[in-house]
């Protein structure tokens, strides 16, 4: 077999790990290599002569749009004579979705006219999984592993951002310091698993008590912080009191079946001119501890 023999090129293409197929201007499949069969489960006999419009591979983009109906790289390449690429998902013959990287080049006759297109595609699973893991790592770097709300690192960044915006635009915000009452007693009496459950349920309750635009995070231990933007003193007080009220309606059940009632102590303060992170945290912590010393299950604003 020599380079002058057409079978040489078929043999070469069939030994590629990438999938390769050719279509004419009507997107009828003229050639389907072994790599395409390995990646899709469909043999050359099953697909050659079929049209892409038959949608056997059901290509969809990252948003779930069917590419045979909209934004098909093959159609675009035949229409404009340009190179196109995309990351899509094909439907394997066995029913699973396979992420693939697609590259399409127009095929031209000797006179330069477009007679079809060639598509080369490869399994993109490794890259997709790497991206997913990287995103997960980025997400976990800012989330508290136990409660699923933002962690202290994220809250420190958010507080610095809120202060910077206040200095520039004078957009008022409130800082809430929220402490789970009798947390040590729950741990010591009912077990650490009950303490963990209490933190998880209080985090859910607080998330539902605050507005979608507010930011809640676990500051550490049994303490949470919340940043409420675009508020005045009355609004801040209402938010804090709603958190206290709904937390007092929260219950958990210990491993031995005992019902445990929960409550929180809250300190809340609005940002003042000249505040920095240290002054804000100091003031709001004092207010939270004042709520504790006055009997817990309450909010103190100042």
Q: What is the DSSP string of 18-78?
A: SEEEEEETT-BEEEE-HHHHHHHS--HHHHTT-BGGG-SS--B-TT--BTTTS--HHHHHH
Q: Identify whether 222 is a catalytic site residue.
A: yes
Q: Is 253 helix (H, G, I), strand (E, B) or coil?
A: strand
Q: Select which of 123, 222, 275, 285 is catalytic.
A: 222
Q: Is 181 helix (H, G, I), strand (E, B) or coil?
A: coil
Rounding to the nearest 10 degrees, give the CA dihedral for residues 150, 153, 155, 161: -130
Q: What is the DSSP string of 254-293?
A: -TTS-EEE--EEEEEEE--TT--HHHHHHHHHHHHHHHHH
Q: Which residues are catalytic?
A: 222
């Amino acid at each position: 077999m020599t380079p002058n023999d057409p079978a040489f090129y078929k043999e070469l293409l069939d030994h590629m790990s990438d999938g390769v197929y050719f279509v004419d201007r009507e997107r009828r499949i003229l050639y389907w290599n072994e790599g395409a069969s390995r990646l899709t489960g469909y043999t050359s006999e099953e697909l050659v002569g079929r049209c892409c419009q038959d949608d056997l591979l059901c290509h969809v983009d990252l948003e779930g749009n069917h590419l045979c109906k909209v934004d098909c790289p093959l159609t675009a390449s035949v229409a404009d004579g340009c190179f196109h690429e995309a990351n899509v998902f094909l439907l394997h013959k066995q029913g699973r979705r396979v992420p693939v990287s697609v590259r399409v080049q127009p095929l031209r006759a000797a006179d330069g006219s477009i007679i079809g297109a060639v598509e080369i595609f490869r399994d993109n699973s490794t890259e997709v999984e790497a991206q997913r893991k990287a995103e997960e790592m980025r997400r976990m770097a800012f989330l508290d592993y136990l409660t699923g709300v933002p962690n202290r690192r994220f809250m420190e960044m958010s507080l610095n951002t809120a202060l910077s915006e206040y200095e520039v635009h004078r957009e008022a915000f409130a800082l809430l310091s929220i402490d789970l009452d009798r947390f040590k007693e729950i741990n010591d009496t009912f077990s650490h698993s009950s303490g963990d459950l209490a933190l998880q349920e209080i985090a859910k309750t607080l998330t539902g008590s605050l507005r979608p635009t507010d930011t809640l995070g676990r500051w550490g231990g049994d303490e949470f912080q919340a940043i409420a933007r675009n508020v005045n003193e009355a609004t801040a007080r209402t938010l804090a009191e709603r958190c206290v009220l709904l937390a007092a309606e929260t219950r958990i059940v210990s491993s031995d079946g005992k019902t445990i009632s929960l409550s929180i102590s809250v300190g809340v303060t609005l940002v003042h001119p000249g505040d920095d992170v240290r002054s804000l945290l100091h003031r709001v912590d004092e207010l939270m501890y004042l709520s504790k010393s006055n009997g817990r299950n309450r909010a103190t604003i100042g």
